[in-house]
Structures are given as structure tokens and as C-alpha cells.
Chain A
């Protein structure tokens, strides 16, 4: 249980560490900035998820929090205490690694007891803690086994068990589910949600999987290229993506983007061009733009696939591909050579009326469109 504050954190990997060609040779690359301008306040008991594409600096940030990487610049506080230079073991942080990193030569019991033994806890205390954690994770019957005899899911539980036995202030997890198959991953995700209710700790969880991020996080930190793109609740990040990157990264299938549109201002009212029409923006959005004195500009318009509906009137399109996903249908529409994806619930559609290459009409609610500045890629509706 702790508050965690990261202030202007930056991580630079020197060129030599990156196995780059040694000095003197041409083509020697510069130092590499893996993370920059990282500002975040995590409150007590919060579940924070770092999400972003591979290589964006999530692990690096997590490892700086753990103390496994040095913080190049910036301040890192746990409960208002500056801990930049505090050794990992004195930070009281536990971490679950992607490959579990269980000690292969120790039984499950000893894996879990190890940190307590290092702390010189009493034998009975260790035993009691290990057993109650094992019970919590339903691995009591595995306690005498060695890691190599366990399945992926069981190893994952043991790794979590090893971390929770010592009541860490902060609990870090780096892509803990990415080595599991889909079914097990969904199951473990649910378990983590349950676990979270039972142990009172601050969680920081790293994943590249936006579904994990959305389902687990109280708040999500979306990262790209070593920088935070947006911090917000899953709802906020989904409904109000702060820029094009977040809009494209969160949500499957991806948001439909229309790149060559314009924001127009006519007699005090804002319009956007889309499918050869001028569409008047709804009242709430008008006010946001007005308050900011937004000028006419080139924009990218985004509409999420579920926010488009097939209807009797609207824009004409050709139906290219029909993907039956079970409970929903993914329809690929072609409008003047541009591919648009529409998601509709299977129950709301009569499949027998849909055929490839058929002409259909679609519409969308202006309330649900997003507009991004084409130049600087920010959401024009963000306050």
C-alpha cells in the first residue's frame, strides 16, 4: 500500500550498452533515450496499467521503479520519500517477470519462502505466510513440486505467489500473461482481478495488449516512443483519446480514419467535410471548439467501427468482406476505394440479406465522431 510518484523521469541508454559499433567506427549511434518526460502519480491501492506497442519503454519504466535500472533523470517517490538511490531490496517492491523467473532448483515452497528467509523471518511466520498465499492462489498442492514440472498457468501463479508473500508496498507485473495461451490468459486475467480485491496493494502492470489494459486498469497509461500519450480511465481513453496514436491503439477493430478532411467555420458554426458532405458538429462539440477559438484547419476524422450502422438511408457503399466473429459481425465497406470497418451485433442483422459486393447504406451519429488536428495529431475535442 503506497503512493507512487514519478516526476520528469528519463532513461538514457548509452550507445555502448546497446551493443553498437565501438567508438571510432563510423555510424556510431547516439545515446538512446528510452523514456522521457514521464510524469505519473499513482494513488494508494490503485491499479495502473502501462500499455503501448513493443519497444515503447514500458519495461524500462517498470524496471526503473523496481530499481533494476538506474533512473537517468527525474525523481521517483514512494510515499513522499525520494527513492531514486534506494536499493531494490529496501524499496519493498515485488515484481512478476514475463518468463516467471522461478528458481529452477527450488521447490515451489522454497521459491515463495526465499525472500522471507533472506529477511530472516521466523520459520513459523514463513510457513504461515507461504501457506496462506498458496491458498489464496490455489497452489497448495503444488508446494513440494519443482517449477519444471508445472504448467505455464501454474508457474504464473507461483510467480505471483512469490511476490505477494511479503506484502509489498508496490506490486509490479511485466507482461505476466503474454506467455500463456488465449484461454488461460483470459482465465488468469479474471484471477488477477479477483486477486486485486483480496490483497491491498498498489499495482503497476505492463502489457502490450489493450484488452488486458482496459479490463484490469483503474487508469491506463498509454505510451509510445518512450513518452506518455495519455493517462486516463479505460472509459476516458476509449471515449476521448487525446491524439491519433491513442485513438488508433485502443479499440479493436481499429478506429476508421479519414485523412483528408477539413474543419470549416461558417457563420459561427463548425462543420467537417466527410463523404462529400458538410456535417454540422453537435452542440457540445461546437462549444468546445468555440471556447478555444478554433480556426479552420485540415483534420483527420475518426469513427469507431461500432459507431457506424447499416441503415436504409445514408452514404452508399459496397460491401467487400463479411467477417462473422460470433456475437458480432465485421463488415468491410468500400467507399470510393476507402476501406471502412463496421461492427454490428450478429443478433441485430439478418445474415441472409447480406451478400458480397452488394450496395449498402450506412450512417453514423455526429456525436460519436472524433476530430484530430492533421498537423499535430491532437484531439480537437480534448479540453
Chain B
């Protein structure tokens, strides 16, 4: 009713609807900086554009060639494997450990706020900065090795980037360390939202700690579990910065992630069309994952 009245008034005086006027700057920026590039990337994924030339002579529309090429791309296959592995490990770790930490933290009285801040801190730093901090610790000339050498334990020095799996291990460690505080905070808020009375009712019904966790806590925080799970999956599927600093995709190309691969194709091999196609595919996969987990969550969710 109100918006109808406003429209009428606006038309009569010859003004634009004020809500339009207010939304305009945001809409403009959003479409210029986000929507246009996305559309552009989508369009270029059907071309052989090299990302450099504006000369349109060599630019050809090549249909779904870029997409079918992905099937035979061994570098991409490796990248998908690496990314999935890291995603599974990190998602499980940050969600399970994050929830565990939140449970411990919830009952730690006055220390709660301090500990929460400490754990959250790494998340505020840029992941590049975090990675460099860790490099200073674990690199060949880093703190750990210097220390080991100084006490004569030269045999134990670590060379984490020597093999694919130790590289991936440390990538996971840094990634978990960086983001666990964020998920812990989500879970802490979720736990604090569960009515105390439910736990007390459950105590009276004869439950132990574990059964309260299973029968009350978990079902009551399904919405937050979904959010945390989704955020972490999306984050890890796009992992790039930490790998870039820690291993540079090496040894060889063995720790390149999908995003790393896309960027290499785009800015090293100058195959922008192909890179765009991969980005579009990744986007579609993430969308599907999001949609499916929302569906599942809706089924499990409790409405009070």
C-alpha cells in the first residue's frame, strides 16, 4: 500500500521514486564491478581470447570447446584432486574442531571473550600475511629449523616443500589455523542460542553429557552447521593465497589448486577463454553444492 502511494506521489510531481535514487549508486557499482565482469567472463569462456589483445581479428567463437577441453586436461585433474583433498580435510577439521572448541569455550566462564578474540585474530589478517608468518616458522631457513640446528638436531630439520604430501599437509595446517576461529565463533553463538531450559529438561529426563550433545545441541544448531559447512566448503574450493605463498604450486605443479590452475592458465599461459570456462564450471559446482546442502538442512532444521 505504502509503496503504491509513494509511486503515485512521485509520478505526479515528476520525481523518480526515492527508493530508486537511493539504490542507484550501489546498483551501479555492483553491476560495473561484479555483474559485468561475470557476464564478460561467461561470454569469453566460449571464445579463444588470450586475455591481451583487443584486436578482434583473431578472436573466434569456439562454442563449448573450452569446456570439452577440461575433460582431457591432466593439470586440471591434479588440481581438482588437490583441491578436493584439502577441502575435505580442512572442512572436517574446522567444523569438528571448531564446534569442539566452542563447546569447551562456552563453559569457560569469564575467559570466554578473551579466548574467542585470540582465536578469531588470525581470521582478520589477510591470508597472505598469515602464510608469510607461517613461512617464517616452517621454511627451510625458518624458526623451527634454526632452532633445531642451534641445539644440534640437524637430522630433524624439516623441508616441508620437498614432497607433494608434506606440502599439502602444511597447507592444510595453515588453512585450519587461519580459519578455525571464525567457525568456532559461529558455533559459539549457536550454542549460546540453545535455551538452557532444554538442557535442564534433558538432565531431568536422565541424560548424560554426551546424549545431551547428540539429542539437544546438534539438532538445535543445524542451521549454523549448514552455514559454517557451506562457507568452509566454498572457501576451500577456492583456495589460492596460502598455496601461492607456501609452495607456489610446487613441487612442480603437484600442489596447484583449481583456482591456482585457473590463474596460471589466464596470466601465465594467456588462455583467458579457457580459464574463464574453468571459473564458470567451478562456480556451477559451488552453486550446486550450496543448493543441495540448503535442501538437506531445511529437512533437518528445527523451527521453534
Using a CB–CB distance below 8 Å, which chain A residues touch chain B? 16, 22, 66-68, 88-89, 93-95, 97, 99, 101-105, 114-115, 118-119, 148, 162-163
A89 touching B206 by the CB < 8 A rule? yes
- Can you list 22 A-B pairs with a CB-CB distance of less than 8 A? A66-B204, A88-B203, A88-B204, A88-B206, A89-B204, A89-B205, A93-B204, A95-B201, A99-B197, A101-B195, A103-B198, A103-B202, A103-B215, A103-B216, A104-B220, A105-B302, A114-B205, A115-B204, A118-B205, A118-B206, A148-B303, A162-B201
B207 touching A89 by the CB < 8 A rule? yes
Instruction: Select B203's contact among A16, A89, A99, beta carbons within 8 Å.
Output: A89
- Contact residues in B for A99 (Cβ distance below 8 Å): 195, 197
* Chain A min CB distance to B3 (Å): 32
Q: How many residues of B contact A (CB 8 A)?
A: 21
* Chain A min CB distance to B276 (Å): 44
Beyond A105-B219, A148-B304, whether A97 also contacts B203 by CB under 8 A is no
- Contact residues in B for A16 (Cβ distance below 8 Å): 110
Q: Does B211 contact A (CB under 8 A)?
A: yes
Q: Does B154 contact A (CB under 8 A)?
A: no
B205 touching A115 by the CB < 8 A rule? yes
A115 touching B200 by the CB < 8 A rule? no
Instruction: Select A105's contact among B202, B204, B220, beta carbons within 8 Å.
Output: B220
Beyond A88-B204, A93-B204, A118-B207, whether A101 also contacts B215 by CB under 8 A is no
A115 touching B220 by the CB < 8 A rule? no
Binary contact readout B69-110 vs A (1 if CB under 8 angstroms, 0 otherwise): 000000000000000000000000000000000000000001
Name the residue on A nearest B200 (C-beta): A68
- Contact residues in A for B198 (Cβ distance below 8 Å): 101, 103
Tell me which residues from 101 to 131 in chain B have a Cβ below 8 Å from any Cβ of chain A: 110
B200 touching A97 by the CB < 8 A rule? yes
* Chain B min CB distance to A339 (Å): 42
CA distance A201 to B195 in the complex (A): 29
* Chain B min CB distance to A206 (Å): 14
* Chain A min CB distance to B227 (Å): 18
Binary contact readout B202-226 vs A (1 if CB under 8 angstroms, 0 otherwise): 1111111001000110011000000
CA distance A375 to B208 in the complex (A): 51
- Contact residues in A for B205 (Cβ distance below 8 Å): 89, 114-115, 118, 162
Q: Closest 3 CB pairs between A and B? A: A89-B206, A115-B205, A101-B197
- Contact residues in A for B304 (Cβ distance below 8 Å): 104, 148
* Chain A min CB distance to B198 (Å): 6
- Contact residues in A for B110 (Cβ distance below 8 Å): 16, 22
* Chain B min CB distance to A78 (Å): 15
CA distance A102 to B215 in the complex (A): 12
A114 touching B204 by the CB < 8 A rule? no
Name the residue on B nearest A91 (C-beta): B204
Using a CB–CB distance below 8 Å, which chain B residues touch chain A? 110, 195, 197-198, 200-208, 211, 215-216, 219-220, 302-304
Which residue, of A16, A114, A163, has the highest number of chain B Cβ atoms within 10 A?
A114
- Contact residues in A for B208 (Cβ distance below 8 Å): 89
A interface secondary structure, majority: mixed
Name the residue on B nearest A159 (C-beta): B201
* Chain A min CB distance to B277 (Å): 44
B302 touching A104 by the CB < 8 A rule? yes
- Contact residues in A for B201 (Cβ distance below 8 Å): 95, 97, 101-103, 162
- Contact residues in A for B216 (Cβ distance below 8 Å): 103
- Contact residues in B for A22 (Cβ distance below 8 Å): 110
* Chain B min CB distance to A316 (Å): 56
- Contact residues in B for A118 (Cβ distance below 8 Å): 205-207, 211
Which residue, of B110, B200, B220, has the highest number of chain A Cβ atoms within 10 A?
B200
CA distance A97 to B203 in the complex (A): 12
CA distance A22 to B216 in the complex (A): 32
CA distance A57 to B303 in the complex (A): 33
Name the residue on A nearest B304 (C-beta): A104
* Chain B min CB distance to A165 (Å): 10
- Contact residues in A for B195 (Cβ distance below 8 Å): 99, 101
A94 touching B204 by the CB < 8 A rule? yes
CA distance A156 to B207 in the complex (A): 22
CA distance A114 to B208 in the complex (A): 13
Name the residue on A nearest B303 (C-beta): A148
CA distance A201 to B206 in the complex (A): 19
CA distance A315 to B112 in the complex (A): 68
Instruction: Select B200's contact among A89, A101, A162, beta carbons within 8 Å.
Output: A101
Instruction: Select B197's contact among A89, A93, A97, beta carbons within 8 Å.
Output: A97
B303 touching A104 by the CB < 8 A rule? yes
CA distance A98 to B303 in the complex (A): 20
B206 touching A119 by the CB < 8 A rule? yes
* Chain B min CB distance to A46 (Å): 21
Name the residue on A nearest B205 (C-beta): A115
CA distance A118 to B209 in the complex (A): 12
- Contact residues in B for A93 (Cβ distance below 8 Å): 204
- Contact residues in A for B219 (Cβ distance below 8 Å): 105
CA distance A114 to B205 in the complex (A): 7
CA distance A114 to B215 in the complex (A): 10
CA distance A241 to B242 in the complex (A): 77
CA distance A114 to B204 in the complex (A): 11
CA distance A105 to B302 in the complex (A): 5
Name the residue on A nearest B302 (C-beta): A105
Given A97-B201, A99-B197, A105-B220, 8 additional A-B pairs, CB 8 A: A16-B110, A66-B204, A89-B204, A95-B201, A101-B195, A103-B201, A104-B303, A118-B211
Name the residue on B nearest A102 (C-beta): B201
* Chain A min CB distance to B300 (Å): 9
CA distance A148 to B208 in the complex (A): 26
- Contact residues in A for B204 (Cβ distance below 8 Å): 66, 68, 88-89, 93-95, 115, 163
- Contact residues in A for B220 (Cβ distance below 8 Å): 104-105
* Chain B min CB distance to A262 (Å): 52
CA distance A119 to B207 in the complex (A): 9
Name the residue on A nearest B197 (C-beta): A101
- Contact residues in B for A94 (Cβ distance below 8 Å): 204
CA distance A102 to B198 in the complex (A): 7
* Chain B min CB distance to A196 (Å): 20
